[in-house]
């Protein structure tokens, strides 16, 4: 069946922002919790949006911590974080084929707006779904977008860079595509999750999608 809609994750999928997300969290935890967190320890706090992580770990200071995170995250973007090579070309081609495009990310709306402004990707997408303070809502949002488009699950693909994105895709009943082009991607973990396709570059994804989206 032809794929008529593609939904993308953001961090590690559209742009190489995961390292600066981790560094931003590390700076918050250093300032408000008084100790250094490793990359792995930071990632263990992921799941809810930034608001949810901070509410859980620093309930009395979470709002101040969130504003500090926005400040640091914005500053880290000034290191010229941009979409991965080939992403703009991929999105242009999909738009030319009249494929519906959306983003579903675990990021909060505040950091998504910062990243969208710095990377320039927002213009391609008709909908952007962001994370919840209560935990991951990716599967629900993917399903809602597909239903809003009036498409069956088999007509929609979700592109994410971690194994949990495959789980969310399966829960939503859509085609699971694992992006393995970021240096932060764990190929073996993605392979074990058994997605429908694992491209190692945006152009490789385009070649696979071209047979499934072209009119």
43 and 88, same structural domain?
A: no
138 and 43, same structural domain?
A: no
46 and 142, same structural domain?
A: no
Residues 122-131: pLDDT tens digits? 999 999 999 9
Sequence-distant (≥ 6) Cβ neighbours of residue 213 within 8 angstroms: 2, 3, 4, 6, 94, 97, 99
Kindly state the tokens that stand for 17: 């922002």
Q: Which of 1-10, 20-29, 71-80, 172-181 has the lowest mean pLDDT?
A: 71-80
- DSSP state, 122? G
Query: Is 143's pLDDT higher than 60?
Result: yes
178 and 162, same structural domain?
A: yes
Q: Which domain holds residue 120?
A: 5-15+83-213
38 and 9, same structural domain?
A: no
Distance of alpha carbon 157 from alpha carbon 151, whole angstroms: 11
172 and 200, same structural domain?
A: yes
Residue 159, φ and ψ in degrees, nearest 5: -110, 115
pLDDT score for 136: 87
Q: Of the candidates 58, 77, 96, which is a domain's last residue?
A: 77
186 and 150, same structural domain?
A: yes
Query: Is 86's pLDDT higher than 80?
Result: yes
22 and 10, same structural domain?
A: no
Q: Is the dihedral of CA 103, 149, 180, 29 positive or negative?
A: positive
pLDDT score for 80: 65
202 and 163, same structural domain?
A: yes
The residues that bridge with 101 in the sheet, in sequence order, are 6
CATH of the domain at 130: 3.40.50.1000
Tally the domains of the chain: 2
- DSSP state, 11? B
25 and 70, same structural domain?
A: yes
Measured between alpha carbons, how far is residue 208 from residues 4, 95, 109 in Å?
14, 16, 31
Residues 171-214: pLDDT tens digits? 999 999 999 999 999 999 999 999 999 999 999 999 999 887 75
pLDDT score for 1: 67
Average pLDDT over residues 133-144: 93
pLDDT score for 210: 86
pLDDT score for 215: 45
67 and 115, same structural domain?
A: no
193 and 115, same structural domain?
A: yes
């Amino acid at each position: 069946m032809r794929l008529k809609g593609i939904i993308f994750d953001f961090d590690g999928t559209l742009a190489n922002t995961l390292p600066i997300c981790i560094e931003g969290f590390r700076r918050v935890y250093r300032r408000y919790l008084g100790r250094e967190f490793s990359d792995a320890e930071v990632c263990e706090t992921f799941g809810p949006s930034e608001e949810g992580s901070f509410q859980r770990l620093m309930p009395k200071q979470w709002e101040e911590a969130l504003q500090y995170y926005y400040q640091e995250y914005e500053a880290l973007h000034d290191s010229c974080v941009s979409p991965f090579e080939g992403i703009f070309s991929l999105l242009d081609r999909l738009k030319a084929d009249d494929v519906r495009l959306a983003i579903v990310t675990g990021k909060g709306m505040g950091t998504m707006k910062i990243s969208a402004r710095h990377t320039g990707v927002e213009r391609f997408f008709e909908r952007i779904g962001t994370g919840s303070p209560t935990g991951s809502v990716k599967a629900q949002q993917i399903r809602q977008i597909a239903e809003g488009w009036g498409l069956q699950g088999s007509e929609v693909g979700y592109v994410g860079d971690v194994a949990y994105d495959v789980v969310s895709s399966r829960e939503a009943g859509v085609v699971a595509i694992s992006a393995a082009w970021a240096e932060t991607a764990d190929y073996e973990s993605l392979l074990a999750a058994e997605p429908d396709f694992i491209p190692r570059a945006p152009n490789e994804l385009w070649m696979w999608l071209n047979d499934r989206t072209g009119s």
